[in-house]
């Protein structure tokens, strides 16, 4: 019986939508955004229906589609999802409509066309679905590189004052990482040809191959560099603060909410199953980078004056936790890491959106330009607080469950790294609560103050004095406060589903865990971990 091609449809619908939006004549901006919203909601519906069709207790990869693409090189347009990829598709399905509605009032300025914005956004959605759904390594690489193009134009055409610099930096970092991975992909093809007699890029075939441990390390490093840049792990992270700060808010939400997850997804999907020996041997070094990222990024976040850079640095710290969970090699920790990928996209996505709403009111990204917002905009302050508390993983919010699973699952095998990473929780509380206190409470500051009124001295005549006027500042009168409007209905429509997900997944995360855990258990089997998650070849820290 032929099954409906869910994944192929999820790739095709936004791609066709992007072409339709781009083909609209000038002046049809309203129709363009309506079409973008309709297409993104259709993709969300398809993701939900695909989840219903997915059997969590069934085969590892489901909803598969495979068409011969380049037969001479064994390349197929092969799609399929396990529970890990499926929850990422659900995240894409949720975030893109939210971004569309959040960007609804954006207007074209100068040479910027909002039709182009919506077209690039839909094309990016298509590429993001493809990168998580690909089960052919070469196809994965194609989507991995192709999704750089729409994000480059979203940043470079619609971002902040330094958008060109940020866009080029983002593109070059990702491109270099992708080229390193391409060399590893070619090496993997050569190895498969030597082992099987015929080269292949099929994931299921490649993970059955016994690769020499030395060759494994080289191939692992090729994939790892690309994924570490994308994630990003310290010291490969320097592109993210610039890109996150200069990207338009909608682009920043997808950048940290989805695109960066391709790196950590790649660790789980490709590095661990294809190169298990190298993964175990090099895991201690990866953990050093993970813990360094948690602590270093948290400290830098505390010192940021730019709110968008601050949120970008918090993401780097969170990715350190995710990498810790992945390379602890326990089912519990890796399940927590995958859940963290979803929850981070929701919590940090909302945090970016609220920062964008605040910037739209004050016209400044600087923390010091705000104060006392909560007194005039309590709903905005409340959503900011919920997003911040989810970011620091307060119990009852979605991030707490995933962070708890990572820590409790990592401690049996990686106790030193786990204890050091726990310090990052304290630092997260500091940088989140400090920025909230400075912007939402206290007296109004900076852009929230009316300019001091001016008075004009009366003209004087006679006695040789000119009849000119002199402008004098009003004496010592405190400037009046500007009125900060609270959330509009559109902004409430943006924030409400995100807040609902933060609370719902904080209270009851089991539906996602049920999808994720079987795929994680299969990955742990590939990497050689026993049911408790302890690999016999990789001793626990502190033992001989």
pLDDT in tens, 39-91: 999 999 999 999 999 998 899 999 999 999 998 888 999 999 999 999 999 99
Q: What is the pLDDT of residues 508-533, one digit of tens each?
A: 999 999 999 999 999 999 887 654 54
Q: Which of the residue ranges 28-37, 458-467, 502-511 would you say has the lowest mean pLDDT?
A: 458-467
Q: How confident is the model at residue 102 (pLDDT cuts 50, 70, 90)?
A: very high
* In the predicted structure, residue 475 carries a pLDDT above the cut 70: no
> What is the reported pLDDT for 471?
38
| DSSP one-letter code for 366 | B
Q: Using CA atoms, how far apart are residues 256 and 341, in angstroms rounded to an integer?
A: 10
Q: Using CA atoms, how far apart are residues 32 and 491, in angstroms rounded to an integer?
A: 20
> What is the reported pLDDT for 3?
80
- Residue range 412-436: mean pLDDT, rounded: 92
Cβ–Cβ < 8 Å for 368, 445: yes
- Distance set, CA 27 to CA 21, 22, 125, 154, 158 (Å): 12, 12, 24, 20, 18
Beta strands (DSSP E) in 47-108 are 62-70, 75-81
- Residue range 375-380: mean pLDDT, rounded: 93
Cβ–Cβ < 8 Å for 176, 52: no
- Residue range 249-260: mean pLDDT, rounded: 93
Secondary element (H or E) of residue 259: none
Enter the tokens of residue 453: 């009124």
pTM for the whole structure: 0.90
- Residue range 337-360: mean pLDDT, rounded: 95
Q: What is the mean pLDDT of the chain?
A: 88
> What is the reported pLDDT for 530?
54
Q: 91: helix, coil or strand? A: helix
Cβ–Cβ < 8 Å for 43, 98: no
Secondary element (H or E) of residue 204: helix 203-206
Angle, vertex CA 253, rays to CA 362 and CA 102, nearest 5: 60
Q: How confident is the model at residue 458 (pLDDT cuts 50, 70, 90)?
A: very low
Q: 115: helix, coil or strand? A: helix
């Amino acid at each position: 019986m032929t099954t409906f091609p869910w994944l192929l449809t999820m790739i095709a619908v936004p791609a066709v939508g992007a072409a339709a939006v781009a083909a609209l004549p000038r002046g049809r901006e309203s129709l363009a955004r309506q079409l973008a919203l309709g297409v993104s909601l259709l993709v969300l519906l398809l993701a939900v229906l695909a989840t219903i069709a997915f059997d969590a207790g069934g085969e590892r990869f489901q909803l598969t589609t495979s068409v011969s693409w380049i037969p001479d090189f064994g390349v197929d347009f092969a799609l399929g999802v396990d529970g890990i990829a499926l929850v990422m598709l659900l995240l894409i399905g949720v975030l893109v409509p939210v971004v569309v509605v959040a960007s609804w009032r954006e207007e074209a300025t100068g040479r910027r066309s909002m039709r182009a914005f919506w077209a690039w956004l839909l094309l990016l959605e298509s590429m993001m679905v493809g990168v998580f759904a690909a089960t052919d390594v070469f196809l994965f690489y194609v989507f991995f590189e192709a999704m750089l193009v729409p994000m480059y134009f979203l940043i470079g055409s619609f971002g902040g004052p330094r958008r060109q610099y940020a866009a080029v930096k983002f593109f070059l970092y990702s491109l270099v990482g992708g080229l390193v991975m391409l060399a590893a992909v070619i090496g993997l093809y050569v190895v498969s040809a030597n082992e099987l007699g015929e080269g292949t890029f099929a994931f299921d075939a490649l993970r059955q191959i016994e690769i020499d441990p030395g060759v494994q390390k080289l191939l692992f490093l090729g994939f790892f560099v690309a994924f570490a840049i994308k994630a990003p792990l310290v010291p490969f992270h320097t592109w993210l603060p610039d890109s996150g700060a200069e990207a338009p808010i909608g682009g920043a939400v997808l950048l940290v909410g989805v695109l960066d997850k391709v790196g950590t997804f790649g660790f789980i999907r490709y590095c661990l199953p294809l190169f298990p020996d190298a993964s175990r041997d090099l895991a201690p070094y990866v953990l050093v980078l993970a813990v360094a990222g948690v602590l270093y990024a948290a400290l830098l976040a505390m010192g940021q004056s730019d709110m968008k850079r601050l949120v970008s640095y918090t993401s780097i710290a969170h990715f350190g936790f995710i990498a810790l969970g992945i390379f602890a090699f326990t089912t519990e920790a890796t399940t927590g890491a995958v859940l963290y990928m979803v929850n981070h996209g929701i919590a940090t996505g909302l945090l970016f959106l609220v920062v964008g709403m605040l910037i739209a009111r004050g016209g400044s990204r600087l923390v010091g330009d705000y104060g006392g917002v909560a007194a005039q905009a309590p709903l905005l302050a409340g959503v900011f607080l919920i997003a911040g508390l989810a970011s620091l993983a307060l119990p009852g919010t979605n991030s707490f469950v995933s962070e708890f699973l990572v820590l409790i699952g990592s401690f049996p095998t990686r106790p030193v790294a786990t204890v050091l990473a726990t310090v990052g929780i304290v630092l997260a509380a500091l940088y989140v609560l400090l920025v909230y206190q400075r912007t939402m409470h206290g007296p109004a500051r900076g852009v929230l103050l009316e300019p001091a009124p001016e008075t004009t001295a009366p003209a004087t005549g006679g006695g040789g004095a000119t009849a000119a006027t002199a402008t004098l500042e009003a004496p010592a009168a405190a400037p009046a406060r500007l009125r900060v409007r609270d959330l509009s209905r559109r902004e409430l429509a943006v924030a409400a589903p995100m807040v609902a997900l933060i609370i719902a997944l904080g209270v009851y995360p089991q539906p996602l865990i049920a999808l994720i855990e079987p795929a994680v258990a299969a990955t742990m089997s590939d990497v050689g971990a026993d049911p408790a998650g302890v690999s016999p070849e990789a001793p626990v820290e502190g033992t001989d």
